Amino acid sequence: MKRLYLHLLFALSALLLLPVRSFAQMQVYGAWLCSNDYCTWGTVRNMTDFDNANHWLIDRGDGSPSVNLVVLAFVDPLKLMNLTTDSGDSNGIPVGMNSQVVSYFNSHNVRVMLAIGGATYTSNWDSALSTNPTQLGLNAAAAAKSLGVGIEIDYENTSSPNLNGLQAFVSAYRSQIPYDATGSNPAARLTIDLGAGDRYLTILAKYAGQNWLTTSNPVLDYANAMVPNKQPTTSDAETDWSQHIDGYNGVPPLAPAKLTGSLYIVTGQSPAPECNDFSASLEDSTGSFVQSVAPAGAGTTVGMLGYMFWAAECPAAHKICTTPPNTCEGGVGVGSSTYAIPYPMPALRQQ
């Protein structure tokens, strides 16, 4: 008995000597939002129908939102540069991305951004950046001011991105709306999508890490690590996100406070656990990593900013929509409660 007591005492002493693990509050917990026409937003929505389809985003079942950010996807960069007005666009912005939709979310303390690009519009990004990237940046800033939204850069040229053109776009945007660490001006929020890890969009990730995402002189607010080509395992997701934080393939380390990780909530013809079963979801199994991953050469605070989910409503013709009865309160919504996501989004950690 005495020997057992000594063993227990020794084990307890060892536990007491372990360092206490630090956890950071998640600040970004958002979803890309497509419309009912597969991310085109080419028609003005009936807001009663829109609420029917997307009510889970603003009410997880207890009156609080499931997310604190929606990113409306996608704006065609070439149409925005040309301020195109046609059957589906007004001054380069899809007609469905209007003030009514923005107000719907803002009235529930959910921030709104517009995503420029996506894989479909990669060649149009190339065309715009080689034609008049400064005008594109000025037009993006004007749209952001007018609607009271932020802008996300989703430029998916992995082999030969036009970095000079993209720098001109970013410079033009910031000439109109300076970086705002307080987060009080929604239009000042300017972010970028990078690969799930640093093996995709490596050239862009290296340039962004060196020039726009430093903690000493930030130009962009943060980067989203995109979803990979299929839903990852817990280990694969954490490995991908670690590549950004540790640095990889010549890409410099990124402060955890400058990164969100992305997961699918729609993967096929049935809801994913990430949508409707939090206890079996990746936002549950990766949560400890996201909240506690330590800096590895950039930044000083632990923990990534949070999660982004692809994608609400109807992202693709061959996948289900997150509309009734396939809404995501049971996954994304439970996660927002579990992680005590703040509404509205607070000023983001800068280090």
Per-residue model confidence (pLDDT) at position 1: 42
Per-residue model confidence (pLDDT) at position 18: 41
Stretch 17-41: mean pLDDT:
88
Per-residue model confidence (pLDDT) at position 7: 38
351 in a structural domain: no
Up-side HSE of residue 250: CA atoms within 13 Å toward CB? Answer: 7
Instruction: Say how far apart CA 104 and CA 180 lie, in whole Å.
Output: 24
Per-residue model confidence (pLDDT) at position 270: 81
Per DSSP, what are the bridge partners of residue 75?
A: 116
Residue 116, SS3? strand
160 in a structural domain: yes
Residue 350, SS3? coil
Stretch 284-308: mean pLDDT:
98
Per-residue model confidence (pLDDT) at position 20: 59
Per-residue pLDDT tens digits for 297-341: 999 999 999 999 999 999 988 889 999 999 999 999 999 999 999
CB count within 10 Å of CB 212 equals: 23
Per-residue model confidence (pLDDT) at position 271: 84
What's the one-letter identity of residue 4?
L
Instruction: Say how far apart CA 220 and CA 203 lie, in whole Å.
Output: 17
Q: Which residues of 91-111 are buried (b: 16+ CB within 10 A; e: fewer)?
A: ebbbbbbbeebbebbbebebb
302 in a structural domain: yes
Percent with pLDDT over 90 in the chain: 91
Residues of the domain holding 131: 23-338
Per-residue pLDDT tens digits for 38-73: 999 999 999 999 999 999 999 999 999 999 999 999
Percent with pLDDT over 70 in the chain: 94
Per-residue pLDDT tens digits for 37-46: 999 999 999 9
Per-residue pLDDT tens digits for 135-149: 999 999 999 999 999
Per-residue model confidence (pLDDT) at position 318: 83
164 in a structural domain: yes
29 in a structural domain: yes
What's the one-letter identity of residue 227?
V
- 307 within 8 A of 314, measured Cβ to Cβ: no
Domains contained in the chain, number: 1
Per-residue pLDDT tens digits for 79-98: 999 999 999 999 999 999 99
Instruction: Say how far apart CA 312 and CA 133 lie, in whole Å.
Output: 30
Pairing mode, strands 93-94 and 89-90: antiparallel
Length of the chain: 351
Strands (E), 187-228: 190-194, 223-225
213 in a structural domain: yes
17 in a structural domain: no
Mean pLDDT of all residues in the chain? 94
Where residue 168 sits, what CATH number does that domain have? 3.20.20.80
Q: How confident is the model at residue 11 (pLDDT cuts 50, 70, 90)?
A: very low
43 in a structural domain: yes
Per-residue model confidence (pLDDT) at position 158: 97
Per-residue pLDDT tens digits for 156-174: 999 999 999 999 999 999 9
What's the DSSP call for residue 271? B
Per-residue pLDDT tens digits for 188-206: 999 999 999 999 999 999 9
What's the DSSP call for residue 337? H
